[in-house]
């Protein structure tokens, strides 16, 4: 009986596999090995033209991430980080589309395409320097206007200061403790200082506008004179008691020629130019010298109100009201000092 020596088919297959350099176990790929061979996924933050979202992506680079969203950056667009940078977890990718913008100046305009984030960034990018008072519209912190206009107005400002003297006034204190006609300087006056500020502004080389303001840097100090009144006859007693009760101060005094009147003259209505009844305490004055309504003190007559006018009362004339013809005649015509009270 003849016996043939031959290899079984399974042994032949095993030998072939070994000859190719593979182990028998490599023919079956495990699930973990298949997962390890797939692209890695990353969680990144994506900002596109101000809109922010968090995405999970298997894109390997910034360029492929944008491409998967249909974005092909142009030369003027802004991309950060660079397109070739590989993606990684917690990476932030920023993309801004460049837009056309016109920068308008006084006498020319500049048309640009920019992806600047704000108006300030645009001007810095275009090397537009600003003065301290220049006006930019929209505001520097505003977003870049798409197909919009950024206007730059050049403003020049300056000011002029002028120091003015404010003259002090002279006040008179009515002093009954001193003899009539005696004056004593109680306090010396001092001029004040007023500062007048003129502010100038010129926009884009146009007309110059000015604004004037002023303020008192140092108020004036009045010069105060004590005027001795002393006794003044029949009317002096009334004057003395009245002034003793009130510490009146006069803002001015003037020497005048005084005459007397009564409200009962022929053809007189008894009503003054200010609508008050004529009589004691109401005197007629020239309004150019003493304004109507002024409170007065006249030594030898007393307190009075400038309440009437008269055709013959011009300049340094004053007509004093009395209740009777006898009192008016007794007073007569004389020179008096008229104090205007504050």
Count the residues in the chain: 342
Query: What pLDDT, on the 0 to 100 scale, is given for residue 310?
Result: 86
The per-residue pLDDT for 158 is 96
At 37 the pLDDT is: 57
Asked, colleague to colleague, whether 42-96 and 99-153 share their fold, the answer is yes
pLDDT at 306: 94
Are the C-beta atoms of residues 203 and 154 closer than 8 Å to each other?
Answer: yes
User: What pLDDT is recorded for position 83?
Assistant: 95
CATH fold for domain 99-153: Ubiquitin-like (UB roll) (3.10.20)
| Rg from Cα positions in the chain | 51
Domain chopping of the chain, boundaries: 42-96, 99-153, 158-224, 231-341
* pLDDT at site 137: 95
Helix then strand then coil, in percent of the chain rounded to 5, is: 15, 40, 40
pLDDT at 68: 93
Q: Tell me the pairing of strands 249-261 and 317-321.
A: parallel
The pLDDT value given to residue 45:
96
Between the CA of residue 334 and those of 227, 253, 320, 330, 340, what are the distances in Å?
Answer: 20, 16, 11, 11, 19
* DSSP per-residue letters across 270-287: SB-TTSPBPSTTEEE--T
pTM, 2 dp: 0.54
Q: Can you give the pLDDT at residue 246?
A: 46
Q: Write down the pLDDT at residue 10.
A: 45
pLDDT of 276:
86
pLDDT recorded at residue 268: 65
Q: How many CB atoms lie within 10 A of CB 293?
A: 10
Which of 234, 238, 197 shows the shortest CA–CA distance to 214? Answer: 197
**Per-residue confidence (pLDDT) for residue 215, from 0 to 100:** 96
What superfamily in CATH does domain 231-341 come from? RlpA-like domain (2.40.40.10)
Q: Please give the DSSP secondary-structure letter assigned to residue 211.
A: E
pLDDT at 1: 30
Indicate the burial class of 118 (C-beta count within 10 angstroms; 0-12, 13-18, 19 or more).
Answer: middle
Could you give the C-alpha distances from 253 to 33, 122, 291, 342, in angstroms and in order?
116, 71, 13, 11
pLDDT at 3: 34
Coil, strand or helix at 192? strand
Q: What is the CATH number of domain 42-96?
A: 3.10.20
Could you report the per-residue pLDDT of 232-274, keeping only the tens digit for each? 433 444 444 444 444 578 999 999 999 999 887 655 667 888 8
| Res 99: pLDDT | 92
Fold for domain 158-224?
Resuscitation-promoting factor rpfb fold (2.20.230)
Give the chain's residues under pLDDT 70: 1-38, 176-178, 230-247, 265-269
């Amino acid at each position: 009986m003849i016996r043939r020596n031959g290899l079984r088919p399974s042994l032949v297959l095993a030998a072939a596999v070994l000859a190719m350099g593979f182990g028998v176990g490599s023919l079956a790929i495990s699930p973990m090995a298949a997962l390890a061979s797939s692209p890695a996924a990353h969680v990144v933050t994506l900002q596109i033209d101000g809109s922010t979202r968090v995405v999970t992506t298997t894109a390997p680079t910034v360029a492929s991430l944008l491409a998967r969203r249909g974005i092909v950056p142009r030369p003027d667009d802004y991309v950060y980080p660079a397109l070739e940078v590989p993606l990684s977890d917690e990476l932030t990718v920023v993309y801004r589309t460049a837009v056309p913008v016109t920068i308008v100046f006084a006498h020319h305009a500049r048309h640009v395409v920019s992806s600047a984030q704000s108006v300030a960034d645009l001007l810095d990018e275009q090397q537009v320097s600003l003065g301290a008072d220049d006006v930019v519209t929209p505001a520097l912190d505003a977003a870049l206007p798409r197909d919009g206009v950024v206007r730059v107005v050049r403003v020049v400002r300056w000011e002029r200061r002028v120091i003015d003297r404010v003259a002090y006034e002279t006040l008179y204190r009515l002093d009954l403790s001193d003899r009539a006609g005696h004056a004593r300087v109680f306090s010396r006056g001092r001029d004040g200082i007023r500062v007048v500020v003129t502010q100038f502004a010129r926009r884009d080389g146009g007309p110059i506008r000015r604004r004037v303001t002023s303020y008192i840097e140092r108020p004036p100090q009045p010069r105060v004179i004590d005027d001795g009144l002393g006794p003044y006859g029949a009317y002096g007693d009334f004057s003395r008691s009245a002034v003793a009760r009130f510490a009146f101060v006069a803002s001015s005094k003037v020497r005048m020629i005084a005459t007397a009147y009564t409200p009962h003259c022929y053809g007189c209505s008894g009503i003054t130019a200010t609508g008050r009844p004529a009589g004691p305490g109401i005197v007629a004055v020239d309004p150019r010298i003493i304004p109507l309504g002024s409170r007065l003190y006249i030594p030898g007559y007393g307190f009075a109100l400038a309440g009437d006018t008269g055709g013959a009362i011009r300049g340094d004339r004053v007509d004093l009201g009395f209740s009777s013809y006898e009192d008016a005649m007794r007073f007569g015509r004389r020179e008096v000092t008229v104090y205007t009270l504050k």
